[in-house]
């Protein structure tokens, strides 16, 4: 054999080897099975935050004197679908419910500044004023005060609200009267 023919034979054998290797590595025809499944549809609904105040009685209309406290029980009902953390949103006062733009007298301002409000969860004590530091306390005007209380959906939290006229109320506050409003806020937890 000549060198030319042996090179041709070697080249042909090399090409045959490459083709054989390529076909065996590719494996010929492949069949891959697959399957699909549909997740059943559902209606998605957003939850809501809503609450209701249930108060069997109002604060006593008895005139306050320095050091006297009047309290009232009430309930917060979470009528929404999410847990709500309770907070005091605002505590404001007006000179009279019918006087929208009325300017308070100095006696009314001093009376308002001498009123102390306490708000706490009712532990069955009959709304006896708790020890200092164990309740939210504020004077009007006031805003934002976390109560550290969470009310589950459809649960009821019994609460107490007390108003005390400070022992240091000035004489000029005598005979003054105010309408106050305490607004609670429920914040999604």
Enumerate the H helices of the chain as residue ranges: 3-26, 106-114
Q: What is the pTM of this model?
A: 0.66
Q: Average pLDDT, stretch 154-182?
A: 87
- 13-22, 50-59, 61-70, 140-149: the lowest-pLDDT one: 13-22
pLDDT, the chain, mean: 78
pLDDT at 113: 83
On whether residue 62 sits in a domain, the answer given is yes
On whether residue 131 sits in a domain, the answer given is yes
**Cβ contacts of residue 121 below 8 Å, gap of 6+?**
147, 149, 157, 158, 159, 160
Enclosing domain of residue 152: 51-188
- pLDDT(101) > 50: no
pLDDT at 131: 60
For position 144, which CATH number holds?
2.60.40
φ/ψ region of 155 (left if φ > 0, alpha if ψ in -120 to 50, else beta) reads: beta
* % the chain with pLDDT above 70: 70
On whether residue 176 sits in a domain, the answer given is yes
Q: How many CB atoms lie within 10 A of CB 177?
A: 12
On whether residue 108 sits in a domain, the answer given is yes
Give the residue among 185, 180, 187 at the shortest CA–CA distance from 108. Answer: 180
pLDDT at 100: 43
pLDDT at 140: 62
- Write the pLDDT tens digit of every residue in 132-157: 555 676 666 666 778 889 999 999 99
86 neighbors 189 (Cβ within 8 angstroms): no
On whether residue 42 sits in a domain, the answer given is no
The Cα 74–Cα 54 span in angstroms is 6
């Amino acid at each position: 054999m000549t060198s030319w023919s042996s090179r041709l034979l070697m080249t042909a054998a090399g090409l045959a080897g490459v083709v054989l290797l390529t076909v065996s590595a590719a494996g010929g025809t492949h069949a891959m099975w697959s399957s699909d499944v549909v997740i059943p549809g559902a209606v998605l609904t957003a939850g809501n935050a809503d609450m209701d105040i249930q108060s069997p009685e109002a604060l006593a209309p008895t005139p306050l004197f320095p050091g006297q406290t009047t309290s009232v029980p009430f309930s917060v009902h979470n009528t929404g679908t999410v847990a709500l953390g309770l907070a005091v949103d605002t505590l404001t006062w007006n000179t009279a419910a019918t006087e929208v733009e009325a300017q308070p007298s100095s006696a009314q301002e001093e009376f308002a500044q001498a009123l102390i409000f306490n708000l706490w969860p009712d532990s069955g004590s009959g709304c006896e004023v708790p020890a200092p530091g164990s309740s939210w306390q504020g004077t009007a005007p006031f805003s934002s005060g976390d109560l550290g209380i969470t009310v589950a959906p459809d649960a009821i939290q019994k609460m107490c609200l007390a108003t005390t006229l400070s022992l240091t109320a000035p004489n000029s506050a005598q005979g003054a009267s105010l309408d106050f409003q305490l607004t609670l806020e429920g914040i999604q937890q």
